Amino acid sequence: MEDSVPRPHPSVTGAFGRWWEERRRAAPLTVTPVSFADLHQWHFAPEGGDLVHSTGGFFAVAGMRRFEADGTVLDQPVISQPEIGMLGILVKRLGGVPHALMQAKAEPGNVGSVQLSPTVQATRSNYTRVHRGHGTRHLEHFSGDPRGRVLVDSLQSEQGAWFWRKRNRNVLVETTAEVADHPDYHWVELDELRRLLRTDHLVNMDARSVLGTAPLFRPPPDSDDPFVRALARSYAEAPAGHDDEQEVRTWLNDAKSRCASHARLLPLSGIDGWTRTDGEIGDDDGTAFRIIAVRVTATGREVPGWSQPLLAPRSESVATFLVREIDGILHLLVQARAEPGLHDLLELAPTVHRHYPGEAPGPFDALSESQDPARVRYDARHSEEGGRFHRAITRHRVIDVGAEVPVDVPESYRWLTVRRLRTLARQGYYVNVEARSLLACLHSLW
């Protein structure tokens, strides 16, 4: 399995660039496909056939059955991981300037192996191990007493297409304490971190998710560009009528009440339309994804290697926000979108959000594919969580459609300001992971 390391990007320079190149060279993972029988400590449970770890921990690959409103029934494998993990970014002012302590973390499914990760990215199994004396590095800043100043702390869902009711805690803490140096960690100025979000496959999904809910330490500056001025107002100002919080809540509750689709777990051995071979479980249509097994060899790690299943999508996903100015304030066109594995049926999603080519078309697909440089404000490819997904790539786009899309939109869509969407995101279970990721990418647009 070749590892297609992306070329260093011109924006990755200076002290950060030197640390980053050194880390990329120091911590490679070799990822080799193996058969399920060759997985160490993983097996198909005798009853039900779920792919489980021998400790009962980590995660499991189970089955999910979706009942659509039109009577369609669709089965698929799903990653079941009931524990709440911790995604925490530590911030500290160095010379008065806010910096985030970012981690160079290798994951087997990442494009490029090493990506820029939160200070702490830990499952509950890691998290609770701390009480037995083998701590996750820097966890004390997020769970200690006293911990730093908590600026953001919310529970957030992750991919509702691939996870069964997964959620992680997204936390941003500001500290004034001494923090010990370690080669895997680097203090990145927040302004630099913003700019790094323009680079493909550099900032990992967990970091993007936290940054999407986090407060800005510095507001967008004055600009001659009307787009940037409208964006700055969208971060700052109370919105004008279109997106009162109670109205947004009511609109979303209307959508949840209308939603007639639902899903439930079922044993992996009971799913229809998927075929298991020695080395993969794939959909017979060949459009969705495969469950594969890999052996991972790490150099320079305490754990020399391990093996695990991964979910490997068959194609690239797309997440696009159409945006436009309304009354001088940039608005994002959000969608109330049902996903079978979400915690509560549906969440706010990007205007266009597609995992597989075969999915039902939406009203804004054509506009989202614009190649007009005057409209395409953001266009980059990022990886989804490399500890669970293999080369899961989402193309992130922000397209300025101006008045071509009217203020009145179909009932599943709504124009919201950045400020409103970020406020809802901080409440948890409102904004899906693809939309949070795009919210983080917006930070890079000035």
CA–CA dist 437, 435 (Å, integer)? 5
- The verdict on whether omega for the bond into residue 357 sits within 30 degrees of 0, i.e. cis, is no
Nearest residue (CB) to a copy of itself, 77 versus 108: 77
Nearest residue (CB) to a copy of itself, 153 versus 316: 153
Q: What single letter denotes the amino acid at residue 86?
A: M
Nearest residue (CB) to a copy of itself, 345 versus 438: 345
Query: Where on the chain is the footprint of a copy of itself (CB under 8 A)?
Result: 82, 84, 86, 124, 127, 143, 150-151, 153-155, 167, 169, 246-247, 249-250, 253-254, 256-257, 262, 264-265, 343-344, 427, 429
Nearest residue (CB) to a copy of itself, 254 versus 369: 254
Shortest reach from residue 155's CB to a copy of itself, in Å:
6
Element (H, E) at 31: strand 29-34
Q: Are 203 and 440 in contact (CB under 8 A)?
A: yes
Shortest reach from residue 18's CB to a copy of itself, in Å:
36
Nearest Cα to 350, choosing from 370, 371, 364, 330?
A: 364
Shortest reach from residue 266's CB to a copy of itself, in Å:
11
Shortest reach from residue 349's CB to a copy of itself, in Å:
18
DSSP strands (E only) in 178-303: 185-189, 262-266, 274-276, 280-283, 289-298
Shortest reach from residue 31's CB to a copy of itself, in Å:
30
How far is residue 67 CA from its own chain's centroid? 26
- Helical packing angle, 418-427 and 433-442, nearest 10°: 130
Nearest residue (CB) to a copy of itself, 225 versus 247: 247
Shortest reach from residue 345's CB to a copy of itself, in Å:
8
Token pair in block for residue 287 = 């459009």
Shortest reach from residue 249's CB to a copy of itself, in Å:
6
Instruction: Quote the longest CA-to-CA distance of the chain.
Output: 65
Shortest reach from residue 170's CB to a copy of itself, in Å:
10
Nearest residue (CB) to a copy of itself, 344 versus 369: 344
Nearest residue (CB) to a copy of itself, 216 versus 376: 216
Nearest residue (CB) to a copy of itself, 23 versus 166: 166
Q: What is the DSSP letter of 197?
A: T
How far is residue 263 CA from its own chain's centroid? 22
Nearest Cα to 281, choosing from 273, 391, 38?
A: 273
Strand partners, 198: none
CA–CA dist 3, 25 (Å, integer)? 13
Q: What is the DSSP letter of 54?
A: T
Shortest reach from residue 427's CB to a copy of itself, in Å:
6
Nearest residue (CB) to a copy of itself, 155 versus 238: 155
Q: Are 87 and 206 in contact (CB under 8 A)?
A: yes
